[in-house]
């Protein structure tokens, strides 16, 4: 909580503003939600699968998902995009 409220790393840290992560230059080293070391969160992988499910359910409600980017897929170990892809949902 102290790190995530530190004004040296975050502009306006108290405000919930997911758009701050749209800037590719934003430092992710100061984003440390599951802590680390011996007492790192035991549920972090479970939690991230849960979030992916929530996003899947959310995106499933949109009729159209498009992207302007050239989509390059890594075929293995499971198909996944080579780099992050920005999408538009309608
Ligand atoms: C958004 C979801 C979650 C966040 C942000 C989160 C974050 C954290 C943080 C910051 C700690 C403290 C680490 C420390 O003491 O330094 C922690 C510990 C822990 N978390 Fe989570 N957690 C999440 C979800 C979960 C879930 C879903 C589970 C279990 C299913 C879980 C189980 C635990 C356990 C057992 C610890 C204690 C680990 C230890 O002290 O050895 N967490 N979590």
The tens digit of pLDDT for each residue in 41-85 reads 999 999 999 999 998 998 889 999 899 988 899 999 999 999 888
| Residue 20: Cβ-neighbour burial (10 angstroms; 0-12, 13-18, 19+) | middle
- Taking the centre of ligand 1 as the mean of its atom positions, its distance from the CA of residue 16, in whole angstroms, is 21
Residue 21 is assigned to a structural domain of this protein: yes
Cβ-count burial 64-82 (b if 16+ within 10 Å, e if not): eeeeeeeeeeeeeeeeeee
Residue 67 is assigned to a structural domain of this protein: yes
- Taking the centre of ligand 1 as the mean of its atom positions, its distance from the CA of residue 47, in whole angstroms, is 9
Q: What is the pLDDT of residue 84?
A: 83
Residue 56 is assigned to a structural domain of this protein: yes
Rg over alpha carbons for the chain, rounded to the nearest Å, is 16
What is the band of 18 on the pLDDT scale with cuts at 50, 70, 90? confident
DSSP-derived 3-state class of residue 58: helix
- HSE on the CB side for 34, CA within 13 Å? 11
pLDDT over 80 (residue 26): no
Residue 87 is assigned to a structural domain of this protein: yes
- Taking the centre of ligand 1 as the mean of its atom positions, its distance from the CA of residue 44, in whole angstroms, is 7
Residue 25 is assigned to a structural domain of this protein: yes
Q: What is the pLDDT of residue 40?
A: 95
Instruction: Using the structure block, give the residue that is written with the tokens 């198909």.
Output: 79
Which structural domain range is residue 15 located in?
Answer: 1-32
Enter the tokens of residue 82.
Answer: 């080579």
Ligand 1 pocket test, pick from 5, 32, 43, 48 with the greatest ligand atom count within 8 Å of Cβ, gives 43
């Amino acid at each position: 909580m102290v790190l995530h409220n530190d004004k040296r790393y975050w502009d306006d840290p108290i405000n919930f503003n997911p758009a701050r992560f749209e800037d590719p230059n934003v430092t992710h080293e100061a984003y440390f939600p599951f802590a680390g070391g011996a007492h790192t969160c035991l549920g972090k992988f479970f939690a991230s699968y849960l979030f992916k499910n929530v996003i899947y359910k959310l995106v499933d409600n949109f009729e159209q998902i498009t992207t302007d980017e050239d989509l390059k897929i890594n075929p293995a170990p499971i198909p996944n995009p080579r780099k992050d892809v920005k999408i538009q949902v309608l």
